[in-house]
Amino acid sequence: MKYTQLGRTGLEVSRLVLGTMNFGPQTDEAASHAIMDAALGAGINFFDTANVYGWGENKGRTESIIGNWFAKGGDRRDKVVLATKVYGNMSGDDSVWPNHHKLSAVNIRRAVDASLKRLQTDYIDVYQFHHIDRNTPFDEIWQAIDVLIQQGKILYVGSSNFPGYKIAQANETAARRGGTIGLVSEQCLYNLAERRAEMEVIPAAQDYGLGVIPWSPLHGGLLGGVLKKQAESGRRASGRAADALADPAQRAQIQAYEDLLDKHGLQPGEAALAWLLTRPGVTGPIVGPRTAEQLDSAIRATELELSEELLAGLDEIFPGPGPSPEAFAW
């Protein structure tokens, strides 16, 4: 496994990030533990989760599964760079009880203590804001974070789903306050089929020294060889992939993508991950395997070297928007 530093920090993390969103809802605890053991055995040291994973009445379940895995010992916790998130509603029902969501100082304090308990650890390496909070000023957010850092409960702070201007606001506020490292990472939707992050989010992240952690690197399965799988199994695509394939233009685009990779003898899902690893500013994509086989495929992607000819062909099929402001002006 290859490693890199997370943004401008000295923290070394693997070029693949183990996403755990499926742990609980789609993968039971025993299988989840087996996947985490396999990931650690392969050298993946960066694990990502969120307090709301498990969803619905099972919110927090994913963190608990990870906590039970840490409790098995064997230096599991010491070897893992652990990232979790705060923002979502953690009330006990579908309604949102006041101050049990978003990024107020009171919710951040409550949420981090609850996550630490579920995760069975006394610190979180990277504590991430899962979404922007339009109603809470960054001065308040950083005040709450400063306290948690002083208490040793968190070490670094990251963002997720932030636009470029919010990355700038967050880090300019941190710099003005002094003593706060600011955001060191940004999780964003980024893949071959969804490249809008290249306009402003990724440039902002690079300018402020944030590592970029793409989520949904296969775009809901669309980039994972969906047409070939459909032809072989007869099963129709679902979710985001089905919506995209219903559009003749997008279906033709995916067919061209699969044909190109077939010509080069590559698996689509592995090539999509390998492409992200070539992109400037990217620390590593989040992979969310439901099975050990899917994890093995993701690991193989880290060893792929894509030729200039192939990279040019991918750009022709998925050209991306280009940088801002040229993407929408001159």
Answer whether residue 237 shows pLDDT above 80. no
Question: What are the start-end ranges of the E strands in 90-161?
Answer: 124-129, 154-160
| 239 pLDDT more than 90 | no
Catalogue all structural domains in the chain, each as residue range(s) with its CATH number: 3-220+270-307 (3.20.20.100)
Write down the pLDDT at residue 168. 98
The DSSP annotation for 22-87 comes to TBTTTB-HHHHHHHHHHHHHTT--EEE--TTTT-GGGTTHHHHHHHHHHTT-TTHHHH-EEEEEE-
* pLDDT over threshold 80, residue 159: yes
* Residue bearing the bigger pLDDT, 204 or 91: 204
> Who has greater pLDDT, 238 or 2?
2
Of 3, 53, 123, 257, the active-site residue reads 53
Confidence of residue 241 (pLDDT cuts 50, 70, 90): confident
pLDDT at 174: 97
In this predicted model, which residue has the larger pLDDT, 82 or 98? 82
Q: What is the pLDDT of residues 59-73, one digit of tens each?
A: 999 999 999 999 999
Percent of the chain with pLDDT over 70: 99
Residue 168: which H helix or E strand, with range?
A: helix 164-177
Query: Which range is least confidently modeled, 40-44, 88-92, 128-132, 275-279?
Result: 88-92
Token look-up 């061209």 returns: 256
Structure tokens belonging to residue 34? 């087996």
And the tokens for 104? Answer: 């107020």
pLDDT value of residue 236: 77
Q: Give pLDDT tens digits for 165-196.
A: 999 999 999 999 997 889 999 999 999 999 99
Q: Give the percent of the chain with pLDDT over 90.
A: 90
Residue 91 has a pLDDT of: 85
DSSP SS3 for 261? helix
Q: What pLDDT sits at residue 182?
A: 97
Residues counted in the chain? 330
Binned at pLDDT 50, 70 and 90, residue 156 comes out as very high
Question: What does the pLDDT read at residue 94?
Answer: 66
What is the token pair recorded at 135?
A: 């109603």
Q: Nearest Cα to 133, choosing from 153, 161, 175?
A: 161
165 labelled catalytic = no
Number of H helices, E strands in the chain: 13, 10
Q: What is the pTM of this model?
A: 0.96
Average pLDDT over residues 238-259: 90
Q: Cα separation of 278 and 198, whole Å?
A: 13
Write 202-207 long-range contacts (CB < 8 A, 24+).
202/279, 202/280, 202/281, 203/164, 203/323, 203/324, 204/164, 204/165, 204/167, 204/168, 205/7, 205/164, 205/167, 205/281, 206/280, 206/281
Report CA-CA distances (Å) from 10 to 98, 160, 167.
38, 20, 20
- 315, 195 contact by CB (below 8 A): no
Tokens of 5: 């530093």
285-326 residue pLDDT tens: 999 998 889 999 999 999 999 999 999 999 999 999 999 999
